[in-house]
Structure 1
Amino acid sequence: MGFTEGWPDAPEPLPSPVVDNHCHLDTPIRGGVMIPVDEALDRAAAVGVTRTVQVGCDLEGSRWAVEVARQQPSVVAAVAMHPNDAARSETLEADLAEIDRLAADPVVRAVGETGLDYFRTGPEGRPQQQHSFRAHIEIAKRHDRTLVIHDRDAHDDVLAILDEVGVPDRVVMHCFSGDADFARRCLDRGAHLSFAGTVTFKNAEYLRDALRIAPRDRILVETDAPFLTPMPHRGEPNASFLVPHTVRFMAEVLDTDLAGLCRAIDANTDRAFGGHWPERFASVS
């Protein structure tokens, strides 16, 4: 099946490039189909999404992220055991040792997504999840990598563990899910707030309140593809080429110039992930 078959039409290209700072190109959709990486990156670049952070959620996915980043100059990798995977693992210490080894690779810019998920993991699994989060924070600090945090229904404990272990130099709150008060608490710790398609949902005014109070130099955008598809395509599989819907919506919420917001997001992502990496295309086609 070709990449365009059965997908929404591509949105109008953005006036200036941005980065999808969190996606899962290795996650199958539509009955097990996985989009060819080249096609996914080409379609994204055509609308102004010229760089990507490929995020691992387990050992297999983290190794895959490293390999793709080695092959694709527009991609960098993030490696980790997702909190729910960590809670289920029977070999967690060995898993963490492998994440530590992978994090040393130059194509790896981040350790994540790690963190806490109290929605899918019950009380019995939380101690192991918290142990994993602490270990990932130490790995990020040891290798000078950005810490990418998954936080679902665990705001207070996420911040408590960050404070306990020590906040790394660069932190990204992936798919930011809190209100304006929690946003301030994250910003006080130096974090960047990454907004996904959820910010476009009708029932997400609390996310829009968080966006409004965020300093312009701390705002990022992501897909979490193939999940969290923005309006007007909610319910369909997500992909990086749909990022323009989210960015345009964010510009409207902020009552700001779209091109200026794109430039800010692009520069913010460079800082958040420890420096610039080459673009796949020199300009938006």
Structure 2
Amino acid sequence: MSRTRPAPEPPEPLAPLVDAHTHIDACGATDPAGVAALADRAAAVGVGTIVTVADDLAAARFAVEAAHWDDRIYAAVALHPTRANALDDAAKAELEQLAADPRVVAVGETGLDYYWPGKLEGCADVETQVDGFRWHIDLAKRLGKPLMIHNREADHDLLAVLLDEGAPDTVIFHCFSGDTTMAQACVAEGYVLSFSGTVSFKNAHELREAATVVPASQLLVETDAPYLTPHPFRGAPNESYCLPYTVRALAEVRGDDPAELAEISTANARRVYRLR
């Protein structure tokens, strides 16, 4: 992410909305006042609920804390697949304790990332990622909570592991980035697909086509902030208040009414995450 561009202007409000996946700490909100201010900015444009997601242990601890600081915030905890080599016994024990917290609504983000091995120093290799993914699948099933998937260039193997292990009742593909074939495979399994600002990118032809084949009942919306700021703000810092830009772009791609899509995606998020 680049911070060379100023933050986007707040969009026209669109309510109700749930940001199904963001990283509040990476957005710079790291204390109760900062979290409240971020949630206030989101609420001002209709984003009344935010799920902040962990990718390492420090972020997992923070996510749970933030969810207790502010009733508008919920948490998801896991080790990102590229960090699966840190999933030792102590990490597993702590993650189990954190994931059991009532403010934690999903186990994630976990899955497989075949892009970074060999490029990123210290990145977990594929075998280690698969082992970590299997452990997180089991944790989600034991806790009866949704599994939140990170998938990068690993479509076949990821679906194969889910089939082999037996998927939890609810599986969410965060920041879905696949093509129509992958979308249809996920839909057939009953998985939920969450769309981010990438669906607004005019050159994301396969993703935009895939978005049209997902039933409305299996769809979520997210920012993945501070990353993936929607068009025309690419390169600017993203935050939960930017979600209406993505929802309007997704509605345009699908031929949906934005207000109806907001209501449907919010109902889905409340069902999937069992929100109050």
Q: Is the 8 A contact 1:81 1:96 kept in 2?
A: no
Q: Report runs of 4+ in structure 1 exceeding 6 Å deviation.
A: none
Aligned residue for 1:52, secondary structure, equals strand
Structure 2 unpaired stretches of 5+: none
Q: Deviations over 1:209-234 (max 9, x none)?
A: 11100001111100110000000101
Q: Which residue is equivalent to 2:19?
A: 20
Distance in 1, matches of 2:166 and 2:197, equals: 30
Q: Deviations over 1:1-60 (max 9, x none)?
A: xxxx9422111111x21100100011156xx9xx92111111111011110001011111
Q: Which residue is equivalent to 1:234?
A: 234
Q: Show the 5 A alignment for 1:217-232.
A: 217-232=217-232
Query: Given the alignment of the two structures, is residue 63 of structure 1 paired with residue 58 of structure 2, yes or no?
Result: no
Query: Given the alignment of the two structures, is residue 189 of structure 1 paired with residue 189 of structure 2, yes or no?
Result: yes
Q: 1:95 aligns with which of 91, 116, 119?
A: 91
Q: Which residue is equivalent to 1:135?
A: 135
Residue 255 of structure 1 and its aligned partner are, at CA, apart by 1.5
Q: Is the 8 A contact 2:51 2:73 kept in 1?
A: yes
Aligned residue for 2:62, secondary structure, equals helix
Q: Is the 8 A contact 1:80 1:114 kept in 2?
A: yes
Aligned residue for 1:262, secondary structure, equals helix
Q: Which residue is equivalent to 1:44?
A: 42
> Normalization by structure 2: what TM-score?
0.92
Letter in 1 for 2:254: L
Query: Given the alignment of the two structures, is residue 82 of structure 1 paired with residue 92 of structure 2, yes or no?
Result: no
Structure 1 unpaired stretches of 5+: 278-285
Q: Show the 5 A alignment for 1:1-285.
A: 6-14=6-14, 16-28=15-27, 36-87=34-85, 89=86, 92-122=88-118, 125-273=125-273, 275-277=274-276
Aligned residue for 2:231, secondary structure, equals coil
Given the superposition, is the C-alpha separation of residues 161 and 10 from structure 1 closer, same or farther in structure 2, using an over 3 Å criterion?
same
Letter in 2 for 1:144: G
Q: Is the 8 A contact 1:27 1:226 kept in 2?
A: yes
Letter in 1 for 2:26: T
Q: Is the 8 A contact 1:167 1:189 kept in 2?
A: no
Distance in 2, matches of 1:119 and 1:44, equals: 32
Distance in 2, matches of 1:99 and 1:66, equals: 11
Distance in 2, matches of 1:236 and 1:7, equals: 6
Distance in 2, matches of 1:142 and 1:150, equals: 20
Distance in 2, matches of 1:189 and 1:72, equals: 34
CA RMSD of aligned residues (A): 2.0
Q: Deviations over 1:123-179 (max 9, x none)?
A: 971111110000000000000111000000101111010001111011100000100
Distance in 1, matches of 2:69 and 2:36, equals: 10
Q: Is the 8 A contact 2:57 2:95 kept in 1?
A: yes
Given the superposition, is the C-alpha separation of residues 160 and 227 from structure 1 closer, same or farther in structure 2, using an over 3 Å criterion?
same
